[in-house]
Chains A and B, each alone.
Chain A
Amino acid sequence: MSEIEISDVAMRFRSRHGEVRALERISLTVPDGQFACIVGPSGCGKSTLLMVAAGLITPTEGEVLVNGKPTFEPGADRGMVFQSYSLYPWLSVRRNIEFGPEIKKVPAAERRETSSELIHLMKLDGFADAYPKVLSGGMKQRAAIARALAGDPEVLLMDEPFGALDAQTRQIMQELLTDIWQRYRKTVLFVTHDIEEAIFLGDVIYVMTHRPGRIRTTLAVDIPRPRTFETLSGPRFAELRNQVVGVIHEESLKAVESELARA
């Protein structure tokens, strides 16, 4: 049982132009084993929301609960994957992956077992002892995901993890991630601006609005799993995509208009 609940979270910043309302009264619950995606136009505060969920920033109002217990600090229960990979360049791929277990003082043999399994699953065989500098973008992100999984978190938080990758690599990574998710059944909260990515990966999609960031629509993705790249050409996929595109388009227009109004 591992569930994350974001309860009435609001986030306000002070800036030179007065108060910025980045997030406003956001509540959502990701139940055990669900893959939830948050999509929204850029600048809608979806990354901020994920930072709040991780405990890396404190919201102005509201709280984050893991398995019903409020959290105030970041911790190993909420593993995070960033767009920028953020591997430690001075550690080999294996030692990067073992970073979490090492902190938790897991015995070396057990750590090695975990990292070996993940290296294989993430298709990094042969690169265990390599430094991150020799890896391609896709491999770096696979290593970063392996590192987050090795920490055995209750919830996996992913902030546009494939945003820096090219379209082909991206598709492969999405397929790999669904495979991994089916195997571990982690509770996942995944942020992206890519609508197709969200539909392909998610059980549920939260569409966010532009400032103040709010959840505008919640959509259940009723496409059966396992999903493959053929899913992308199915009729249900197209339907859902059009639905989300419509909402996002409306929101993006509003964003442009509000920018014009301010100018």
Chain B
Amino acid sequence: MAHPRRRRGFIRTYLTPKQAIPGRARLVLAVGSFVVVVGVWWLLAVLVQNALFVPSPYQVVVTWWDMMVNLGFYNDVGWSAFRIVAGFVLAAAVAVPLGLLMGSFEAVRSFFNPPINAIRYMPASAFIPLLILLQGLGEDEKITIIWIGVFFQLVLMVMDIAHRVPDEMLNVAYTLGASRWTVFYKVFLPATFPEVVDALRITMGWAWTYLIVAELVAAEHGIGSFILIAERYLRADRIIAAIITIGVLGLITDALFAVAHRVAFPYVEKVRA
């Protein structure tokens, strides 16, 4: 009798939907994508042969070093980081408590939800001219932009998280003799924490976008204003170096949030590694 053939073909391994692929292949693909991106860029630079518009990756690295050493780019990075942190912390400090209250008390939700939902659809960047009129060109204007960009999104995300806490978790506590207040701070709050940190991590990424827009419009320092000046001097290499810097800073913040999450919430079930 013929033995059924153990099938291990390429198609079966790689083209079965939702099928896990070998760990080695995953690594190769991940590194490969990066190599492809840099490779295409390099190829483009070689083909165009115009360092003014398409500098090579190598040139950008050299420029980045030059920016740090001779142009005080770290100073701009510092200013941007300060604005991000200030705007983000101020937004989170209001959005998280308010979102939790909105998610747990229907009265609070009914009152705050309509205006917040409406404002959420107004792009934060559209407020820039208005805020320049009202606040001038100082730090408070940038921080307000970030605040607007983060707050209205974050508050609704936190509200959703709070709203999703299973009733049964609270009901168990009531039947163990807990008061409303005890249920609130011993069950409801801890039940929301891990997802709130996730929401902070996501909105942090958006904060960068709003900051750069604000700095592009008007600023004396900051990565955005550095990019604008570079454009005036036709320095594509500096623009690219600055953009990549933002990307790397974003990755670092994201990794910090991920580590903090793992340390603070070791009990969370990982859906997928």
Contact = CB atoms under 8 A, between A and B. Distances in A.
**A and B bind:** yes
B174 A56 contact: yes
A151 B177 contact: yes
A147 B262 CA distance: 27
Interface residues of A, number: 29
Q: Which of B177, B268, B269 has the most CB of A within 10 A?
A: B177
| Secondary structure class of chain A's binding surface, majority of residues | loop
Contacts of B174: 54-56, 73-75
Interface stretch (A59-67, A77-85, A200-208, A215-223): A77-85
A224 interface: no
A133 B268 CA distance: 7
B176 A79 contact: yes
A89 interface: yes
Interface stretch (A2-10, A98-106, A165-173, A240-248): A98-106
Contacts of A54: 171, 174-175
Nearest to A84: B168
Interface residues of B, number: 22
Contact of B175 (A56, A84, A104, A131): A56
Interface in B146-188: 166, 168-169, 171-178, 182, 186-187
Nearest to B171: A56
A234 B166 CA distance: 41
Contacts of A78: 175
B176 A103 contact: yes
Interface string B175-206: 11110001000110011010000000000000
Interface string A134-159: 00000000001001100101000100
B169 A76 contact: no
A237 interface: no
A228 interface: no
B245 to A, nearest CB: 37
B174 to A, nearest CB: 4
A76 B266 contact: no
A72 interface: no
A45 interface: no
B171 A100 contact: no
Contacts of A157: 175
Contact of A99 (B168, B176, B266, B268): B176
Interface of B: 166, 168-169, 171-178, 182, 186-187, 190-191, 193, 265-269
Interface of A: 54-56, 73-76, 78-80, 82, 84, 86, 88-90, 99-100, 103-104, 131-133, 144, 147-148, 151, 153, 157
Q: Which 6 A-B pairs have the closest CB atoms?
A: A76-B177, A100-B176, A74-B174, A80-B175, A131-B267, A86-B168
15 contacts: A54-B174, A55-B174, A56-B171, A56-B175, A76-B176, A80-B171, A86-B169, A86-B172, A88-B169, A88-B187, A90-B191, A103-B182, A103-B186, A131-B266, A153-B175
